[in-house]
Amino acid sequence: MADKNTKKKREKSTVGKAAQRMVFGGALTEEQEEILTPIQMVFRSFVQDKVAMTGVICFLFIFMCCVVLPFFLPIDMYYQDVTQANVGPGFGMLDVPSGLQKKARQVSLGSTFSVGIDEKGNVYEWGRFPTNKLKKLPADMGSLVQVSAGLDHVVALNDAGEVVTWGNDRMGLASIPLELRMGETVKEVYAGYQISLALTESGRLYNWGNDFLIDIKIPKEVQGNIQKFVANTDIVMALTKDGEVAALTTKTNAYTAIPEQIQGRVVDLALTDESVAAVTEDGQVHVWGNNVKGSRNIKEEVQGHVTAIEGGRFHYVVQLDDGTVQAWGDDTFGQTKVPDIKGKVKDITAGYYGSYIIDESGTVTGWGLKGYLMGTDDFGRDIFRRLLKGGRMTMTVGAIAVIISTIIGVIIGGISGYKGGKIDNILMRLTEIVSSLPFLPFAIILSAIIGNNISETQRIIMIMVILGLLSWPGIARLVRGSVLAEREQEFVTAAKALGIREWGIIFRHILPNIITVIIVNATLDFATCMLTESSLSFIGFGVSEPNATWGNMLNGARSATVIENFWWRWVYPALVLAICTISINCIGDGLRDAIDPKSKER
Amino acid sequence: MRKGRYLLKRFVYIIFVFFIISILMFTIYKSLPGDPVRMMMGDNVKPEVYQQQYDTIRAQLGLDEPLPVQYVKWITNMLTGDFGYSTEYRKPVKNVVGVPMRNTVMLNIFSMLLVFVISIPLGITQAVKKNSVFDKAVQVVTIVGYSVPSFVIALLAIYAFAIKIPLFPISGAKTAGFNGTGMAAALDVAKHMALPVLVMSVSGIGSITRYVRASMIDALRMDYIKTARSKGLKEKVVIYIHAFRNALIPIVTVTTWWLIGLFGGSIVIETIFLWDGLGKMMITGLNQRDFAVVLAMQMFYVILSLVGNVIMDIAYTLVDPRVRLEN
């Protein structure tokens, strides 16, 4: 035995040495004859196993990512945004083309793409295009003076006062109202969520496209007197030439609670998804509406200095009288982290989750949502963040299920093996009954029955318990077999002679001797439980939405369209799940080889 | 004689287990939420006759009797092949399960065959060429094969062989509106079955190959192999007759477990490929609260698993004469 150990030691890899130093300290020298406990032997031989160590490293990496990263990349599980649906992976959303730099006149931010025009009126598009129609620019647009990007279409205005539009042409987005084509000179255009708006020099507002989503009712006294307008998916607000704010709707809601004291003094207006902000002559910002994601938490230092305001989905950007720019509100994608601009700020734009600054030299700087590392799913949720949360969930479910099954298995196997006789017989029959339950069908049915009227948390606990309750027979048999072998050993007889209670003998004397076997089995069971949980969630009987697990993230990827067109929605979860289970199986195999030297010779 | 008595004992025991499980299942199903009577009646019943009709259907389905009576009735029906009345298909379950059962069995048998045809020769070759590059390479492949969940492999297979290279249809058990007979029909089914069978076999190939390899290595180390070789027997004879027969015992155990799991696991595959089998039927039944169907499916899986256990016992006695059956 000792001879074998010294021989082994010389062959030790550098990894093994490093790990040995880490664990046992640097005191051991080559010449010394060492005495190793079985656990140390196992550990050494495990550390030398390259495949198993690779597995450990891979698994620990994924595990640490899932544990640590969600703190830095938080995600609201209930959050959904259709405007961000099925965006491919990548970070190019705010990469302004070099052709536009130094000569930008105006830019506009759409859902996942942006458009801009230069001094000569040429148009540039960048980002991720929700539809390929966006790339087909209409011929003879003339020299453009203003552009606006919406969900999936663009509206632009040329120097002849004509409106042009491209991109999505459904919902009547292509049919520009007759009045705009006949004589009326357009001052400003806007592309929104399946809707387009245009304001004429005479202060009249026109809209076309899908007007079912927004209720637009322009009061008579406002029509023809509009100075500026802003819109989101719920409402259109207008700023009249007399500096008054008007909500262009007949309904009463959070937006219509316009503070009386600002009427007549408003110079600029902006809208986010839940609130309205108005800038008065004295540079004060007034925000009303719902305070979602901190959009009403105005920075105190900007009050009194604001000259212009712009709003995105949940953030506001303001230009101050000293030429600087400030932002507040939602910061999930860094929307409020305004970059330092060298030159003087000429113009600011905000939209959706990003913002742009154009400085005097015509250079465009963008910040906010640059893209998604792994794209988004059909509800516009960031796949990478869900993957992290899902990993945590999958691993937690797997781990707790394994703990439950190991505890049951050890207790039943231990008692059965030690007691023998009738008790053994009954317990083993019970084991046999449970193991002859067809696993997956039974798990599905239990989940369908119990999981009907319970909360999501209860559902997760239920899945853990079901998996634990159905998967203990394997470990029970193993423990029983090992206990049977151990109980004939002298130390058990000695313990008995000392008058130690049976319970103590089983769990304090025998159990430590078979703990390695249990650990190996638990490791392999962990992989199996993760797989089963994923399978259950995949067919819709496991952890349910909006909670993420790797299995239910793949649930949405079952149709051929998704598999073909939105590959990122299934490739990433599948890849991570596969790497994880392969790693755990490698670890389990490595442990088994380390414990049982005979199996290593295979 | 001993064997016969042993098998009889096992058989009696299996029946006992079956009844315990069936009681368990019956209890579970009775606690199911949702009302099958209301499901069956639909929404087009006039309010004035509602209660009367409700009671009639309830009595018709035998739902007004006490639970033990219902259980006895139900189990008698089950044993006589009457699986109850499907509220979803509005037909006796017996008449509905034929085609799905055939499809599922077909799917499983083919993937079983594929697994054996590939994994046994592969495992043996690996054991013979132990520690060669081939062995190592196959070991990596098999560990990947049995680790990766089947639905992931299914998605990959659909992407590769149904979308990128459209060799096979994406889903279904046969082409819609296809009326051919004979060879044409068989070919059509084969085409639809190719992907599910392939996907189902991957994890089986992975794990069975590993077991075959391990037990073959153990067997090849034995002294009788040395004797056989020193007798001058051909290497093929040594490997396939002397070693493999002895390696079979652990393989039989694993294979039976895997087989039972295979049928259960085909639920996932059937849902992905919309294969008209028992698994898909069970999921639909659960979603529609069609308990009779779910119950019958579940019974099928339970019986399959118990039969699997019996087969394992018989197989043991066949491959290993040393197995002491009394124990």
Interface test with B, best of A50, A432, A433, A445 (most B CBs within 10 A): A445
CA distance A456 to chain B (A): 18
Query: Residue A327 in contact with residue A355, Cβ under 8 Å?
Result: yes
Q: What is the largest CA-CA distance in chain B?
A: 92
B185 vs B304: CA distance, rounded Å: 29
With a cut of 50, say whether residue A276 has pLDDT above it: yes
Q: What is the pLDDT of residue B56?
A: 80
Beta strands in A407-566 (DSSP E): none
A292 vs B32: CA distance, rounded Å: 41
Question: Which whole number is the average pLDDT over A248-277?
Answer: 85
Residue B22 exposure: Cα atoms within 13 Å on the Cβ side: 22
Q: How many CB pairs under 8 A join A and B?
A: 122
Number of domains chain B is built from: 1
CA distance B220 to chain A (A): 10
Find, in chain B, the residue whose alpha carbon is nearest to that of A440: B264
A437 and B170: CB-CB below 8 Å? no
Determine the structural domain holding residue B295 and report its residue range.
Answer: 98-319
B4-58 tens-digit pLDDT? 777 787 778 888 888 888 888 788 767 766 666 776 666 666 777 777 777 887 7
CA distance A590 to chain B (A): 12
Which of the four pLDDT bands, split at 50, 70 and 90, describes residue B114?
very high
Residue A600 exposure: Cα atoms within 13 Å on the Cβ side: 14
Find, in chain B, the residue whose alpha carbon is nearest to that of A436: B305
What is the helix (H) or strand (E) element at residue A177, kind and residue range? none
Q: What is the pLDDT of residue B33?
A: 63
A436 neighbourhood in chain B, CB within 8 Å:
17, 21, 302, 305-306, 309
CA distance B48 to chain A (A): 31
Joined together, the tokens standing for residue B119 give 């994994």
A554-594 tens-digit pLDDT? 887 778 788 888 888 889 999 999 999 899 888 888 888 88
Please tell me the class of the A47-73+387-601 domain. Answer: mainly alpha
Interface test with B, best of A530, A539, A568, A601 (most B CBs within 10 A): A539
Backbone angles phi, psi at B300, to 5 degrees: -55, -45
Query: Residue A297 in contact with residue A324, Cβ under 8 Å?
Result: no
In a domain, B12, yes or no: no
Question: Which whole number is the average pLDDT over B185-204?
Answer: 86
Q: Which of A442, A449, A581 sits opposite B31 (nearest CB)?
A: A449
In a domain, B124, yes or no: yes
B268 and A535: CB-CB below 8 Å? yes
B282 and A563: CB-CB below 8 Å? no
B143 neighbourhood in chain A, CB within 8 Å:
582, 585-586, 589
Q: Which of A436, A437, A585 sits opposite B147 (nearest CB)?
A: A585
Question: Above pLDDT 70, what percent of chain A?
Answer: 93
Find, in chain B, the residue whose alpha carbon is nearest to that of A445: B286
Joined together, the tokens standing for residue A586 give 């490698």
What is the helix (H) or strand (E) element at residue A228, kind and residue range? strand A226-231
CA distance A589 to chain B (A): 10
Unique residue bearing structure tokens 């989905």: A313
In a domain, B324, yes or no: no
Q: Which residues does residue B187 pair with via DSSP β-bridges, in sequence order?
A: none
In a domain, B126, yes or no: yes
CA distance B302 to chain A (A): 6
Interface test with A, best of B155, B263, B283, B311 (most A CBs within 10 A): B155
Closest by Cα among B2, B9, B1 to B310: B9
**CATH number, domain with residue B123:** 1.10.3720.10
For A234-287, give the DSSP string.
Answer: S-EEEEETTS-EEE--SS--GGG---GGGTT-EEEEEE-SSEEEEEETTS-EEE
B298 and A442: CB-CB below 8 Å? yes
Where in chain A are the domains? 47-73+387-601
Which of the four pLDDT bands, split at 50, 70 and 90, describes residue A57?
very high
Residue B300 exposure: Cα atoms within 13 Å on the Cβ side: 27
Joined together, the tokens standing for residue A450 give 């119990």
Q: Which residues does residue A106 pair with via DSSP β-bridges, in sequence order?
A: A117
Interface test with A, best of B12, B16, B147, B294 (most A CBs within 10 A): B147
A531 neighbourhood in chain B, CB within 8 Å:
149
CA A282 to centroid of chain Cα atoms: 42
Q: What is the pLDDT of residue A404?
A: 95
Interface test with A, best of B14, B22, B30, B151 (most A CBs within 10 A): B151
In a domain, B113, yes or no: yes
B271 vs A47: CA distance, rounded Å: 42
In a domain, B144, yes or no: yes
CA end-to-end distance (rounded Å), chain B? 15
B144 neighbourhood in chain A, CB within 8 Å:
578, 582
Q: What is the pLDDT of residue A21?
A: 57
B114 vs B120: CA distance, rounded Å: 10
B231-289 tens-digit pLDDT? 888 888 888 888 888 888 778 777 777 777 777 778 888 888 888 888 888 888 888 87
Find, in chain B, the residue whose alpha carbon is nearest to that of A449: B32
B286 and A444: CB-CB below 8 Å? yes
In a domain, B157, yes or no: yes
> Picking from A96-110, A210-224, A302-316, A540-554, which range would have the lowest pLDDT averaged per residue?
A210-224
3-state secondary structure A155-174: EEEECCCCEEEEECCCCCCC
Find, in chain B, the residue whose alpha carbon is nearest to that of A530: B149
CA distance B179 to chain A (A): 25
A560 and B158: CB-CB below 8 Å? yes
A596 neighbourhood in chain B, CB within 8 Å:
none
Q: What is the pLDDT of residue B327?
A: 41
For the ranges A396-410, A418-432, B311-325, the maximum mean pLDDT occurs at: A396-410
CA distance B125 to chain A (A): 14
Q: Is B35 left (phi over 0), alpha (psi -120 to 50) or beta?
A: beta
Q: What is the pLDDT of residue A399?
A: 93
**Helix, strand, or coil here: A28?**
coil
Q: Which of A445, A567, A601 sits opposite B294 (nearest CB)?
A: A445
Cα–Cα separations (whole angstroms), residue A26 to A4, A17, A19, B240: 21, 10, 10, 52
A449 and B147: CB-CB below 8 Å? no
Query: Residue A345 in contact with residue A319, Cβ under 8 Å?
Result: yes
Find, in chain B, the residue whose alpha carbon is nearest to that of A539: B268
> Picking from B143-147, B181-185, B274-278, which range would have the lowest pLDDT averaged per residue?
B181-185
B267 and A586: CB-CB below 8 Å? no
B155 neighbourhood in chain A, CB within 8 Å:
554, 557, 563, 570, 574
Which of the four pLDDT bands, split at 50, 70 and 90, describes residue A8?
very low
Q: What letter represents residue A150's amino acid?
A: G
CA distance B49 to chain A (A): 30
Q: Which of A436, A442, A581 sits opposite B148 (nearest CB)?
A: A581
CA distance B291 to chain A (A): 10
In a domain, B261, yes or no: yes
- How many residues would you count in chain A? 602
Find, in chain A, the residue whose alpha carbon is nearest to that of B154: A558
Which of the four pLDDT bands, split at 50, 70 and 90, describes residue A398?
very high
A441 and B306: CB-CB below 8 Å? no
A505-527 tens-digit pLDDT? 888 888 888 888 888 889 888 98
A436 and B309: CB-CB below 8 Å? yes
A449 neighbourhood in chain B, CB within 8 Å:
28-29, 31-33
CA distance A523 to chain B (A): 13
B44-93 tens-digit pLDDT? 667 777 777 778 877 777 777 777 888 888 788 777 877 777 777 777 87
B250 vs B315: CA distance, rounded Å: 11
A403 vs A518: CA distance, rounded Å: 11
